[in-house]
Structure 1
């Protein structure tokens, strides 16, 4: 089935991999233009290119969701490049990849407090 644009634009944080990538792919298939926003611009770019790049309705954005100005900048860029803004999927997050007995107070604070 061919993709039909629905005139909507979505920004997906953490869209460069995993659940965020799956959300971006689904929304794009449903006709959304998508802004794939991620701290890792390389993975975001790969997802955007897989979906056809800017001509196909997908762009990559670098964003650090723990930085308010970075998030507002990503929203502004999505509006400027894709012609509007309708939906934001706040999917980005961090999770320590350390064994339970090696988790520190600092890593817990980074996960729980730095995201506020």
Structure 2
């Protein structure tokens, strides 16, 4: 369980940054060098290396160095665990909101009934 939670923490931390999400979007289309990514996102090479490192530690990106060029590609992780966690919580909140809707509708019916009885 602890390993599972640590993995979720690492993944969600990696996905919490707009630049890192953008990098994943770029890599979904095609592999790219860190230099190319830095240029696309208008940031320093050092900054992009840090972002790629976070994604790499989360297993979302892999890198390979050939000569002087480090190429990035999507990693082997598919986010099934994260999607399952989100779905469980979505179902929980959906059930809570459905229950709240029932309470609100019941209160509205009672309010209308009270208004009708006062008019008589």
Q: In terms of Rg, which structure is larger?
A: 2
TM-score of the pair, normalised by structure 2 = 0.23
Larger helix percent: 2
| Larger RCO (CA within 8 A; separation ≥ 6) | 1
Q: Which has the higher strand share?
A: 1
